[in-house]
């Protein structure tokens, strides 16, 4: 059914259609509307046979999810930013135990400085936790990915994060097509756990493993992700057959066939990138873009296939590996091993800074002339940075950096554009 609704609400409805049995909720902006929506559905009796648990922290949220999943219940939670970091130990544990929990990340920056707006620092910090990570381009895709995520998680017995850009998607009202219960039931069978805490068949889960077998256990976790590389496209195809929409998959290419310049990005940013690609194509520039949906497992082969004929690749990242540069770029470069081309890492949109078409157009034109640095910070205010560096060089007790910078630019409340 088509409806005009908020991204968070669309996700809440999708999760409800997946018949979750235990939902743990802890508030953190910008994912909060999702669990609020689900809590309301449970309270109103619209979502039945579901325990909605208000926990005392994100660490508890993931821990309750671990217990519920290990006891055989289909389990869901959502978080963002600091919340994901606070649950980090349990995030790794859920994957290590092989529990098919589905979690939405309403992507948001990590402090300090504290910042509630969107970038990918949070989910990227958990990229090696053993979870599958899928990034949604639109609210429709966010909705669809959740339905695929439960099936993917349960087939592999591996937890899945569905990452959607905070505010840009979570708070945006858009038209979405919400499937029927029958459609979702046909796609997603009931949860059949591989391991379950059952008095009739007692098992010990979470034993101490020493050097004699730890490598093998970790290899099997890696192997599971490699199997996901095959399963993710299969599920996307099956989803298309059932629901008539292209959602998910490993990567999606946009006008890349003859492209000399290819832009790689994750999530909602692809919408803006594709508009700029269209504008530049109209001017005869051979440019295209690739949207990476599955960041874990990283689709090395698909990325190579999509990018191998390009002259240059620009990886647009909403995250920063401090002291190195890009995070997504690492995977992209690995996928292009042995292929000679110009590669650029562009750090953009940190802490919610708007990524405008004008900025992207300038950026892609600079790249087209190969006039980009290897690592570029899009729209970096160099004057502001120089001023602060100079100030810091002049005295010892210069005070907190972030506050000094804010003083320098003056009062521009919420000037995120």
Tell me, by CB under 8 A, how many residues bind other proteins: 43
- Least distance between other proteins and beta carbon 24 (Å): 7
Q: Per CB under 8 A, does 410 bind other proteins?
A: no
* Near other proteins by CB under 8 A: residue from 50, 84, 105, 176: 50
Q: Per CB under 8 A, does 199 bind other proteins?
A: yes
SS3 239: helix
Dist CA 280 CA 274 (whole Å): 10
Dist CA 67 CA 205 (whole Å): 11
Q: Per CB under 8 A, does 56 bind other proteins?
A: yes
Q: Per CB under 8 A, does 211 bind other proteins?
A: no
Task: Give 414: exposed, middle or buried? Use CB within 10 Å, 0-12, 13-18, 19+.
Answer: exposed
* Near other proteins by CB under 8 A: residue from 4, 45, 49, 371: 49
**Residue number, 218 or 357, with CB nearest to other proteins:** 218
Contact segment (CB under 8 A) with other proteins among 146-154, 206-214, 334-342, 398-406 equals: 206-214
List all residues 6 or more positions away from 326 whose beta carbon is below 8 Å from its beta carbon.
315, 317, 319, 320, 345, 347, 375
SS3 382: helix
Contact segment (CB under 8 A) with other proteins among 21-29, 233-241, 294-302, 313-321 equals: 21-29
**Residue number, 173 or 214, with CB nearest to other proteins:** 214
SS3 83: helix
**Residue number, 47 or 320, with CB nearest to other proteins:** 47
List all residues 6 or more positions away from 235 whose beta carbon is below 8 Å from its beta carbon.
148, 151, 152, 248
Q: Is the dihedral of CA 205, 209, 212, 217 positive or negative?
A: positive
**Residue number, 95 or 367, with CB nearest to other proteins:** 95
Within 10 Å of residue 390's Cβ, how many Cβ atoms?
9
* Near other proteins by CB under 8 A: residue from 186, 209, 226, 238: 209
**Interface positions, 62-81, toward other proteins (CB under 8 A):** 63-73, 75
Q: Per CB under 8 A, does 153 bind other proteins?
A: no
Which backbone phi and psi does 76 adopt, to 5 degrees? -140, 145
Q: Per CB under 8 A, does 279 bind other proteins?
A: no
Q: Which of 345, 256, 293 is nearest to 148 (CA)?
A: 293
**Interface pattern 87-116 for other proteins (x via CB under 8 A):** --xx--x---x-------------------
Report the interface residues with other proteins, using CB under 8 A. Answer: 21-22, 24, 49-51, 53-57, 59-60, 63-73, 75, 89-90, 93, 97, 197-199, 201-210, 213
């Amino acid at each position: 059914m088509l409806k005009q609704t908020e991204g968070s609400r669309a996700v809440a409805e999708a999760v409800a259609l997946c018949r979750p049995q235990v939902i743990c909720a802890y508030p953190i902006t910008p994912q909060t509307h999702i669990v609020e929506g689900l809590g309301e559905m449970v309270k109103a009796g619209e979502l039945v046979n579901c325990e909605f648990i208000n926990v005392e922290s994100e660490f508890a949220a993931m821990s309750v999810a671990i217990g519920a999943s290990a006891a055989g219940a289909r389990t869901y939670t959502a978080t963002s930013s600091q919340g994901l970091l606070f649950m980090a130990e349990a995030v790794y544990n859920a994957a290590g135990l092989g529990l098919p929990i589905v979690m939405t990340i309403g992507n948001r920056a990590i402090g300090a400085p504290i910042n509630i707006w969107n970038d990918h620092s949070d989910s990227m910090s958990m990229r090696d936790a053993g979870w599958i990570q899928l990034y949604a381009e639109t609210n429709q895709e966010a909705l669809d990915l959740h339905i695929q995520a439960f099936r993917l998680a349960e087939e592999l017995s591996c937890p899945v994060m569905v990452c959607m850009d905070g505010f840009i998607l979570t708070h945006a009202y858009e038209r979405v097509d919400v499937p029927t219960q029958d459609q979702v039931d046909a796609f997603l069978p009931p949860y059949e756990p591989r391991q379950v805490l059952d008095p009739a068949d007692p098992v010990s889960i979470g034993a101490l493993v020493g050097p004699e077998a730890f490598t093998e256990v970790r290899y099997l976790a890696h192997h599971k992700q490699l199997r996901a590389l095959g399963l993710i496209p299969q599920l996307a195809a099956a989803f298309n057959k059932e629901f008539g929409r292209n959602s998910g998959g490993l990567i999606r290419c946009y006008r890349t066939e003859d492209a000399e310049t290819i832009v790689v990005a994750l999530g909602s940013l692809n919408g803006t990138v594709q508009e700029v690609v269209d504008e530049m194509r109209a001017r005869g520039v051979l440019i295209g873009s690739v949207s990476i949906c599955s960041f874990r497992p990283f689709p090395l082969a698909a990325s190579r296939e999509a990018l191998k004929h390009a002259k240059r690749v620009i990886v647009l990242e909403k995250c920063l590996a401090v002291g190195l540069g890009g995070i997504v770029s690492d995977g992209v470069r690995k996928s292009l091993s042995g292929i000679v081309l110009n590669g650029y890492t562009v750090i953009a949109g940190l802490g919610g800074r708007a990524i405008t078409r004008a900025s992207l157009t300038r950026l892609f034109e600079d790249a087209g002339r190969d006039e980009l640095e290897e690592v570029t910070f899009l729209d970096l205010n160099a004057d502001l940075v120089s001023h602060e560096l100079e100030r810091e060089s002049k005295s010892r007790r210069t005070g907190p950096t972030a506050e000094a910078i804010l003083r320098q630019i003056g009062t521009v409340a919420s000037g995120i554009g």
